[in-house]
Amino acid sequence: MTTSAFLRACRGRRASVVPVWFMRQAGRSLPEYRALRRSGSILEVIRQPDLAAEITLQPVRRYGVDAAILYSDIVVPVSALGFGVDIVPGIGPVVAEPFATEGDLGRLRDLVPEVDLPWVAETIGILIAELEVPLIGFAGAPFTLASYLVEGGPSRSFARTKALMYGNPDLWHRLMGRLAAITSTALRAQVDAGVQAVQLFDSWVGNLSPEDYRLYVAPATEQVFAAMADLGVPRIHFGVGTGEILDQMAACDVEVVGVDWRVPLPRARTLVRPHQALQGNLDPTALLAPWPVLRTMATSVLRAGTSTGPGYVFNLGHGVLPESDPAQLERLVDLVHGWEPDAGR
């Protein structure tokens, strides 16, 4: 495992191949997932360690990716605390009683992993006994989690979230502080159970201006990474639409910065710190293109990524879309693994 191409690249070391994994690699685009998944809430499936472990392994077997990502969801910790979150297929997380007032802070007590979500450590235990590649743990960052809790569901404008942020900054910061503590505890428990890297998903933070990011988000996110500093596993920080805030995201104490598809990787290189690795950033919709087009687009990303140094992990610029053909992902992994950094330049 110490020779893992993924872990080496996360540390900025040269690896035998360019490592590749895909955000949301487990899931609806796989027929074997749909066969296992059946009906019921995804939150119920996640609570079954044998099933969750099997779903985590499916993309590793099929694609030969260089890392597995735990089958879970960003709302699992707040749901386990009883906040009242469900995941509705085709929509996403939905909260019956959204966060609105100071009284709602009481619904976000400290997480006690071994009591509130013992199945997570159990699933990780099964996986590390089986896997030959590293297992990535993850959590939602405070802003993205707060947006679901405050909006009550997915949002385009983040109007309620921003209204709280601007209108009651004191309550906003207390909410972010609670979410940072819960997230840190959840991630530390995953590392204690055996995950070898962690990714913090701040999927919707690109909807903020750089100034708002600095004022309203950075302190809580930095708190999460600082709480992980002693664990010795690579920490990945990812968000979507982050071109204008990537420098601030990289100012956190992290080893890897995830880049969405809008930002050319050489440009990202100038925004992050020299020792940090980059991860990304093929547009997920490229998987819907005919193979020759996908190959050209992926080659361009590979060339850009490898030109930035050995600290490079190939990934998409956001999660795999459900309508993607698994055969395209298989071809893509082969292309990345066949890449010779000095050829094709």
Contacts with ligand CP3 by CB under 6 A lie at 24-28, 37, 42, 69, 71-74, 87, 89-93, 138, 201, 203, 319
Catalytic residue among 33, 71, 148, 216: 148
Whether 148 sits among the annotated catalytic residues: the reply is yes
CB nearer to ligand CP3: give 256 or 306: 256
Q: How far is the CB of 45 from ligand CP3 (least distance, A)?
A: 7
Nearer to ligand CP3, 87 or 308 (CB): 87
Label residue 111 left, alpha or beta by phi (over 0 means left) and psi (-120 to 50 means alpha): beta
CA 42 to chain centre: 17
H helices within 218-288, ranges in order? Answer: 218-226, 246-250, 265-271
| Residue 339, token pair as written in the block | 């890449």
**Which residue's CB is nearer to ligand CP3, number 29 or number 248?**
29
Q: How far is the CB of 292 from ligand CP3 (least distance, A)?
A: 27
Residue 112 identity: V
Q: Which residue is catalytic, options 47, 71, 73, 235?
A: 73
Side chain identity at 119, as an amino acid letter? W
DSSP code for 86: E
> What is the DSSP pairing of strand 235-239 with strand 256-258?
parallel
Residue 213 appears among annotated catalytic residues: no
Cα(18)–Cα(318) distance, rounded to whole angstroms? 19
Active site residue 62: no
Nearer to ligand CP3, 69 or 120 (CB): 69
Amino acid (1-letter code) at residue 150: V
State the minimum distance, in angstroms, from the CB of residue 147 to ligand CP3. 9
**Cα distance between the two ends of the chain:** 30
The distance of closest approach from Cβ of residue 310 to ligand CP3 in the complex, given in angstroms and rounded to an integer, is 25
What is the set of active-site residues? 24, 28, 37, 73, 148
